Structures are given as C-alpha cells and as structure tokens.
Amino acid sequence: QAVHSGPITELHRRKQLAPPIRMTQMLCQSRSQSQGSDPLNSGVTVKLRTRLLVSLLFGGGLLGAWAYVYWEKQQRRWQQRTEQLRKVALGQGTFSLVDHTGRRRTKQDFLGSWVLLYFGFTHCPDICPDELDKLSAAVAVLDQDASLPPVQPLFITVDPERDGVPALARYVKDFHPRLIGLTGTPEEVKHAGRDYRVYASPGPKDQDGDYIVDHSILIYLLSPDGLFLDYYNRMKSSEQIADSVRNHMRSYQRL
Amino acid sequence: MTAPNSAERRVCWDARDLLWKCLDDNHDSAEACQKQQSHFQDKCPAQWVRYFSKRRDFLKYKERIQTEGFTPAEGPREKS
C-alpha cells in the first residue's frame, strides 16, 4: 500500500486542519463582542447571514463577470472568423447559368437576397440528397421567423453533361419549394465552380455510361451583396446552420 | 439514363440497409445474404451498388482501426 508523503500532502494536511481552528476563533470573537447587547445566538447568526449574503453577491458578481467576458470572447472569435472568410473572398466573380425552368440567371439576379448555395449532381447516391434535405430544413426553420428576410436556396450542378434543365426540374421538386437548380454549358458550370473553389472530378464510366462525380461537400452562405460569408460542412446540422445564418443576418442588419 | 427520383432513392437505401443489417447479423458472410444482395442490386443503379459496397468496406475498416489500432507501414528498407 503506497503511503503518501512529501511537501504537497503535508500542505494538504495542514489545510484540512486550519479552517476549523479559524472558524471557532471567529465565532469566539463575535460571541465576546455581542455579549453585552444582543442575545448570544442572534448576534452570531446575523453576522453569519450578512457574511453569507455578501459572499453570495460577490460570487454571483464574479460569475456574471466571467460569463460576460466569455460571451464577449465568443463574439470576437466569431467576428474574426467572418473577417478571415471575407479575406478569402470566395464568390467574387459572376456566374451566368440556366435555372431548372430554362430561364437564364446571373449572380446579379440574386443580389439583395441571402443565399444558401450547394454544389452537387442529380445522380448522387446519398450525400447530395442528405445535404439538400438539411439545407431545405434550415431554410424552413428560418422561414418560420417573420422578422428575418427569406433565404434563397440554390443548387448548382457539377455534372452539366447529364444535369440539363429537365433533369434539374425533376430533382429540385423533392426539396424546398423555393430551391432553384442551376446548370449550363460545361464552361459556364466550371466557371461558377471555380469562383467558389469547388473541387469536382467525374469518375470512370461503367458499362451503362453511369459515373459518380467526386466533389467537395459544402453549403455556402452568401450575403445580399453576393459576398461569401460562411460555409457549413457535413457535420453541421440544419439547426446549427439556421442559427448561424440568423446570427449573420442580425449582425449584418446592425451594420 | 435518368437519375433515381426521391421514391426510388428511398427504395434503394432501404434495400441497402436490409443488406447491411443481414451482413451485420451474419458476420459479413456474403453467402448468407444472397437474397438481400440481389434485391439491393435490383433496386439500385450499378454505380450506387459499387459506391455503397466501397462505403461499407470503408466503414468496417474505420471501425477496425478505431477499435484495434493499426500498424503503420514500414518505411523503405534500403537507404535511398
């Protein structure tokens, strides 16, 4: 059996012995002070009650100060992140694509709206439907808040060879009613993707001519100026995305 | 060929889930799950069958690494 020894345990032992001695000294002092005027017990308890109250207030004040400093640090960290993302300056360019109704749309058409943008393809086995479901859910949550402007969900294909207007039309109706699908020529699509540094690489075709496009999986948040503000990866839930967008909207309005 | 719509995707995912449950229950024995395998291949495009098979292999591999650890590959034996 190990025997604890050394300077640290000595201090520990002394600490354990000290308080009771000091407490009884305090009680003796207060007892002798109040002996003349008040009854013994009420004098001691009044002093104890005020002492307790003062300690609680002091402790509460400390806690409040700590909470405020913590909150302020979180705000600053969030602002720094937004600044850094702004420096990365994705989505500075323009794009010109065709939507799922055949109408030509450019980036200009979406200025003035908050946009949640996702790049994917319709032949995607599971990831794109999951992410679009998540995006739709986030937009639905934000729709419920009447004080916030409506968010425009966008889906841009990384597979222009197969995802023409009819394919997009079929695809987007399974998600949020406001979701707009965008496609175009391979050049137009590549240009839009490059603007957001999207990685996309079609895999080998099998005997049916089917293939899977390997691509980066991100949901981008664009401000009404068309500036890239934030991004959300696979691990962010729809609630987290909605909270983050709400946060951005509120701070944006303050500016 | 057109992409599967929402209902077809769900049918494919359900078939995949049935297959994976069968494999989990039978220690990944392919013989025990022939029925589920053929149902899965029937309901999903060939590319998706390959994609999900690779996905399962990856998930199993990840589980193995997380529980059993792994030995890093040895470096070159001869000095370059």
Helices of type H across chain A: 7-33, 40-88, 127-143, 165-172, 186-195, 238-254
Q: What is the crossing angle of helices B46-68 and B34-43, to 10°? A: 130
| pLDDT over 90 (residue B18) | yes
A205 → chain B, closest CA residue: B47
**Does the annotation place A28 within a ligand binding site?**
no
- What are the Cα distances from residue B60, in Å, to A36, A137, B36, B50, B53? 81, 30, 19, 15, 11
Distance CA A90, CA A77 (A): 20
Give pLDDT, residue A39.
56
Which residues is A116 bridged to in the sheet? A153, A221
3-state secondary structure of A186: helix
Q: Which residues of B touch A126 (CB under 8 A)?
A: 9, 13
**Does the annotation place A215 within a ligand binding site?**
yes
The pair of structure tokens assigned to B26 is 């039978």
Distance CA B45, CA A209 (A): 11
CA–CA min distance A96, chain B (Å): 25
A164 touches chain B (CB under 8 A): no
Q: Which CATH superfamily, name and number, covers A96-254?
A: Glutaredoxin (3.40.30.10)
Q: What is the pLDDT of residues A70-99, one digit of tens each?
A: 999 988 988 888 888 878 778 778 899 999
Give pLDDT, residue A172.
96
Q: Is the pTM of this model over 0.80?
A: no
Give pLDDT, residue A217.
96
Are A215 and A121 contacting, i.e. CB atoms less than 8 angstroms apart? yes
For chain A, what are the domain ranges? 1-36, 96-254
Q: What is the pLDDT of residues A1-20, one digit of tens each?
A: 455 555 566 655 655 555 55
Q: What is the mean pLDDT of residues A189-194?
A: 93
Give pLDDT, residue A163.
95
Cβ atoms < 10 Å from Cβ of A141: 17
What ipTM was predicted for this assembly? 0.82
Distance CA A213, CA A210 (A): 10
Are B3 and A161 contacting, i.e. CB atoms less than 8 angstroms apart? no
Give pLDDT, residue A83.
83
Dihedral class, residue A68 (left if φ above 0, else alpha if ψ from -120 to 50, else beta): alpha
Q: What is the pLDDT of residues B33-73, one digit of tens each?
A: 999 999 999 999 999 999 999 999 999 999 988 888 777 77
Which amino acid belongs to residue A30? S
Helix (H) / strand (E) containing A162: none
Of B5, B48, B51, the CB nearest to A170: B5
B51 → chain A, closest CA residue: A125
For chain B, what are the domain ranges? 6-66
Beta-carbon separation of B3 and A167 below 8 A:
yes
